[in-house]
Chains A and B, each alone.
Chain A
Amino acid sequence: DIQLTQSPSFLSASVGDRVTITCRASQGITSYLAWYQQKPGKAPKLLIYAASTLQSGVPSRFSGSGSGTEFTLTISSLQPEDFATYYCQQLNDYPITFGQGTRLEIK
C-alpha cells in the first residue's frame, strides 16, 4: 500500500495569509495525486488532481505542485470559506489511500 503523510496535521492562519500543506508518499507516484477539501458535516470536495490541475469551479487561489514523492497544496490568500480540513489522495494504484488530513483553523 502507498502511505501518504501530510504535514502539518494542524495549521492556524489568518485571512489573507499564504499557506502550504505538504503530502509525502511512501513511494514514487509521478503526478498521480489529488487534493480534497472537507468542511464539517459535508462530503469531501475535489480541488486538484494530477498534482496541479485545478478542478472546474475551484478558485485560482488554490494551486498544487510536486511529483514523485513530495507534493504541496498552496492557498495564496486565505478566505474565510477556506477554513476546513484538507486531504491528499494517491491516484497511482489500489488500494486507494488518503493522507491523515490537515486541519486549517482561523488564528
Chain B
Amino acid sequence: EDQVTQSPEALRLQEGESSSLNCSYTVSGLRGLFWYRQDPGKGPEFLFTLYSAGEEKEKERLKATLTKKESFLHITAPKPEDSATYLCAVQAAGTYKYIFGTGTRLKVLA
C-alpha cells in the first residue's frame, strides 16, 4: 500500500536554529514528491516539486532534497514567520492523485 510518513509531528526551534523535516514514502513508482506549507485557517501553499532521486530545490531559507525512500526539507536559520505546518505529498505511478502525509507543525520562537 502506498504510504507517506512525516516526522517529527511537531518541532520547536529557536530563531536561527537550523533543522530538517523528514518525509518517508513507500509507493509503487514515484511520479513526483511535493512540499506544501499550510498556515492556520488557510489552504496549503505550494513550495517544491521533486521528481528524481538526487534532485534538490531551494527557496529562501528552505531546501528540499530527494532520495529513493525519503525527502528532507531543510530549514536554515529559520525566522518566526516560517512557523507553519509543512505537508509532504507523493504521486504514485499509474495514479492521478496525491497521497498526503499528516504534516510537521513547526514553531519558530523569537
Our verdict on whether A and B bind, yes or no, reads no
